[in-house]
Chain A
Amino acid sequence: DGGITQSPKYLFRKEGQNVTLSCEQNLNHDAMYWYRQDPGQGLRLIYYSQIVNDFQKGDIAEGYSVSREKKESFPLTVTSAQKNPTAFYLCASTPYGAASEAFFGQGTRLTVV
């Protein structure tokens, strides 16, 4: 079955540590996105990538980094510079370069302890 897989579903991190969230898709989609959801907030765009080896900052990129070495994979690193990393992180992909019906993964809940 085609889809987007995010792992792990739950992640705990100590303050000051970097952590990487995985996102893999087998839909052959060109574009991939990372969003963050906080309680009472919408989905805010962190980073996006429309083609391999290229990515752009979204609205809240500070404290995050990404790579897009393969079409199928778009990992997100939450660095120690991110002041409020506890959140629900969602990865998405679309079949075209611009947004269409985005398909989402199941999300990763990151908690800083």
Chain B
Amino acid sequence: DQQVKQNSPSLSVQEGRISILNCDYTNSMFDYFLWYKKYPAEGPTFLISISSIKDKNEDGRFTVFLNKSAKHLSLHIVPSQPGDSAVYFCAASARNYGGSQGNLIFGKGTKLSVKP
């Protein structure tokens, strides 16, 4: 049973426009959420995170929004650039509960293609 769901396997966006990647979760104990970016045959790199005490976190072109009541988060990339083309993974953990609850649970990823 998937606790973290990324329902869109792929997304195509024009350069300069906004990319919106979505993620849903089912475990109400999750209190920390992260986005990772991954290129083929490489390890994921951390992009941005958000704690459950916030509803928005911004870092340059990347903004993550968290809607706790809907158990939904989204990553906005504005403006999108061809170099943003990669697979984006959403991850969540119940960090404050400690132990194995703090392990990261990953979604299946969304492949973003930004067209020049």
Chain A residues in contact with chain B, CB under 8 A? Answer: 4, 6, 33, 35, 40-45, 48, 56, 58, 88, 90, 92, 97-107, 109
Contact = CB atoms under 8 A, between A and B. Distances in A.
B106 A42 contact: yes
Contact of B95 (A98, A104, A106): A98
A98 B46 contact: no
A43 B103 contact: no
Contacts, number: 66
Most A Cβ at <10 Å: residue of B6, B34, B43, B93? B43
The bracket for how many chain B residues form the interface is: 20 to 34
Which secondary structure dominates where chain B touches chain A? mixed
Minimum-distance CB pairs A-B, first 9: A98-B102, A104-B43, A42-B106, A43-B106, A42-B108, A99-B93, A99-B104, A101-B46, A99-B102
Given A40-B9, A103-B46, A107-B42, A97 B98 contact: yes
Given A48-B100, A102-B46, 18 more contacts: A6-B43, A33-B104, A40-B108, A42-B107, A43-B91, A45-B104, A88-B41, A97-B98, A97-B102, A98-B93, A98-B95, A99-B32, A99-B93, A99-B102, A99-B104, A100-B95, A106-B42, A107-B43
